[in-house]
Amino acid sequence: MAIKAPKGTKDLMPKDSYKMQYIEREFYELCRRYGFGEVRTPMFESTELFSRGVGETTDIVQKEMYTFEDLGHRSITLKPEGTSPAVRAFIESHDYAEMQPTKYYYDTPCFRYERPQAGRLREFHQFGVENFGTPDMMADAEVIALASDFIRKVGIEDVELHINSVGCRECRPVYRKALQDYLRPYYEDLSDISKERFEANPMRIIDSKDHHDQEIAADAPYMLDYLCSDCKAAFESLKANLDAMGISYTVDPRIVRGLDYYTKTAFEFVTTKIGAQGTICGGGRYDHLVEEIGGPSIPGVGFGLGKERLLLLMGHNDIIFDDPNVPDISISFIGDKARLYALGLAHNLRVNGIAVAIDTLNRNLKGQMKYANKLAARYSVVIGDDEIERGVVTLKDMKSGEQKEINASDLTKEIEK
């Protein structure tokens, strides 16, 4: 029996990989404009990084991580998200000692043991940005603007920005008590996972996926009503900054995000076009994560964006991709002498930047032309003894059907033109 890819993983074949390459190029270019430089971190990290950074009470740490012991008896985890490794790299490289802010972007595979569904895989790929070193809400607005620009740049229009504040160490304990007081009479009716969260992280009950939990939490108090003066001012500043850039948003008090490290700003770009997994980009501020991982007290803000979910949404939006795998020209030949001549011509064209398709199965001319039509090359030439003798080729435009005879030495210039 043939070996298949592991459940929750997906091969990306040439007929689709160029789409991924397209969004990667667009993301890299946009990050460059915003002044973010690329950071690349290992595929696996010490398990402690995620238990300290992501949080012991999160679903990721409790249920979803791929963790194993290596031959040195160290606990190792395939990274389930990109922020904690970026923070670890920021600390280990001593970039915090340089003039701030420090601005990273990354493009990385991530791994979570989840039930595979539309837009959700066990191995998935994520874009992200992190801005370290400033508590000012301009940084939050800039990060949101980058995500908004990118989503719009790739042609998606039906996505909404939702924002919230999840408070800070000063005001969150007050809200935590108010929320627990509200939920306590319903404790026995909560789902098992929400019961576990009741003491450890009751805010997560607000965004529970369990329908009955949602009914219970429908009238629960929200963090926005318990913000301290500093968090209130920060949230108003965030809104003013987004207004200044003309970025529309909805204040959504139910956004709490699934990671423990968030403080103040939390945001999501959401859509209803890919089923239950409607969040394609999410992020926020984390003023204590650098310190919790072992670095100095330096704030940060960033986001993560799932590439598979983005491509799925682009498909639902009927966005057309130009296929760069289509050759500029196909070369067909008749006879062994013409085959060698065509091979040399193809090599010369490729050296000069022209994408060339040429038959390597020694098909007859009819088979070669059928292959060329399948590849949908823009131009084609057929070479025989007569063309070699005269040093010419007949160049055919496959779209218009127009053809003309030119010197073989002028073929590169003619295609470029």
- Tell me whether residue 82 is annotated as binding: yes
277 is in an annotated binding site: no
Here the tokens at position 270 are: 């959401």
Among 235-239, 312-316, 359-363, name the most confident range. 235-239
Domains of the chain: 14-168+228-317 (3.30.930.10), 329-416 (3.40.50.800)
pLDDT for residue 395 is more than 60: yes
What are 110-151's pLDDT values in tens digits? 999 988 877 789 999 999 999 999 999 999 999 999 999 999
For residues 18 and 321, the answer to whether their CB atoms sit within 8 Å is yes
> Please, are residues 231 and 28 in contact by the beta-carbon 8 Å criterion?
no
262 annotated among ligand-binding-site residues: yes
What is the per-residue pLDDT for 57?
A: 60
| Rounded average pLDDT over 162-177 | 93
Instruction: Supply φ then ψ for residue 240, to 5 degrees.
Output: -65, -40
Beta strands in 309-391 (DSSP E): 329-333, 356-358, 379-383
Which runs of consecutive H residues, i.e. helices, occur in 46-112? 47-53, 59, 83-92
Q: How far does CA 392 lie from the centroid of its chain?
A: 48
Q: List Cβ neighbours of 381 (8 Å cut-off, separation of 6 or more).
A: 329, 330, 331, 332, 393, 394, 395, 396, 411
Q: What is the mean pLDDT of the chain?
A: 91
On whether 112 is known to bind a ligand per the annotation, the reply is yes
Angle at 311 between CA 309 and CA 314, to 5 degrees: 110
Query: At residue 166, does pLDDT exceed 50?
Result: yes
Q: Is residue 327 reached through a cis peptide bond, with omega within 30 degrees of 0 on the bond before it?
A: no
Question: Alpha helix locations (H) across 118-228?
Answer: 137-153, 172-183, 192-200, 211-217
Asked if residue 254 belongs to a known ligand binding site, the reply is: no
176 is in an annotated binding site: no
Between CA 140 and CA 116 the distance in angstroms is 32
Is 62 annotated as contributing to ligand binding?
A: no
Integer Cα distance of 306 and 56 in angstroms: 23
Q: What are the pLDDT digits (tens) for 289-304? A: 999 999 999 999 999 9
Gap between the Cα atoms of 179 and 394, Å rounded = 78
394 CB-near residues (< 8 Å, 6+ apart): 381, 382, 387, 403, 404, 405
Model pLDDT for residues 225-281, shown as the tens digit of each residue: 999 999 999 999 999 999 999 999 999 998 887 667 889 999 999 987 765 457 889
Does pLDDT of 83 surpass 70? Answer: yes
How distant is the alpha carbon of residue 179 from its chain centre?
Answer: 34
Burial of 78 (0-12, 13-18, 19+ CB in 10 A): buried
Q: Is the pTM of this model over 0.85?
A: yes
End-to-end CA distance of the chain: 52
Q: State the pLDDT at residue 416.
A: 83
261 is in an annotated binding site: yes
Q: Is 160 annotated as a binding residue?
A: no
Q: What is the pLDDT of residue 205?
A: 87
Other CB atoms within 10 Å distance of the CB of residue 170: 12
pLDDT tens digits for 1-36? Answer: 899 999 999 999 998 999 999 999 999 999 999 999
